[in-house]
Amino acid sequence: MAADLPSLSAARLVRRQLHVILALDCSGSMTGDKIASLNYAMRAAIPEMRAAAEDNPETDVFIRVLRFSSQAEWHVATPTPVSQFEWQDVAAGGETNMGDALCMMAEVLNPERMPGRQLPPVLVLISDGQPSDDFEGGLKRLLESPFGSARCASRSPSAVMPTTRSSSASSAIPISSRCAPTTRRIW
């Protein structure tokens, strides 16, 4: 019976896509050391992401970057393979329209915009302040999107609220343990 099984060397791995979407606060409160730290952290993270992708040959890793201040806009709109991704520094200025950024992420979190075999997307939100727009509406749209609700379907948007530890500390968005992201303070 064992003779009927294909050898592992003959078996081909099925490739899957992992989309990483970075939403970066580029508002006025990020000027100076904070935006410099953000740009440095991005330049340092890319080689680590490439190494992780090389260690997982069955996965194609793509990156998009969304910046938000007085408006949200794509800094890198096209899903770019991590092996080809080059960081272009962002500048700070304006308000903190985080809700708009969440709405823009929701627009791309659908099967038509992310075709093929998918791993759950990775969404990274980096901010130092409170939203200055309709954060709750943006979060609701994000959680209602096909991929946005994949792991957090039972959590209501009202359970996620921005909080500030102190005026100089970064903001945190408490997330239930089922959906808790790994966070690391970079400055």
Listed in sequence order, the residues at least 6 apart from 146 whose beta carbon sits closer than 8 Å to its beta carbon are 109, 110, 111
pLDDT above 70 for 160: no
Contacts of 186 (CB under 8 A, 6+ apart): 37, 38, 41
d(CA 181, CA 187): 18
- For residue 113, what pLDDT is reported? 82
Q: What is the pLDDT of residue 129?
A: 83
Residue of higher predicted confidence among 80 and 148: 80
Q: Average pLDDT of 41-58?
A: 95
- Of residues 9 and 72, more confidence is placed in 72
Q: Which residue has the higher pLDDT, 169 or 127?
A: 127
Q: Which of 104, 106, 159, 101 is nearest to 131 (CA)?
A: 101
What is the CATH superfamily name and number for domain 13-149? von Willebrand factor, type A domain (3.40.50.410)
Least confident residue range of 1-5, 52-56, 75-79, 158-162: 158-162
Is 155 in contact with 180 (CB distance < 8 Å)?
A: no
**Mean pLDDT, the chain, integer:** 79
pLDDT top residue among 11 and 187: 11
Q: Residue 53 corresponds to which tokens in the numbers above? A: 């992708």
pLDDT at position 38 over 70: yes
Q: State yes or no: pLDDT of 52 exceeds 80.
A: yes
Structure confidence at residue 161 (pLDDT): 38
Task: In whole angstroms, give the CA distance from residue 158 to residue 136.
Answer: 7
> What is the pLDDT at residue 11?
52
Cβ pair 103, 136 in contact under 8 A: no
H helix intervals, 110-180 = 135-144
Of all residues in the chain, the percent with pLDDT exceeding 70 is 72
Taking alpha carbons only, the member of 175, 87, 60, 61 closest to residue 125 is 175
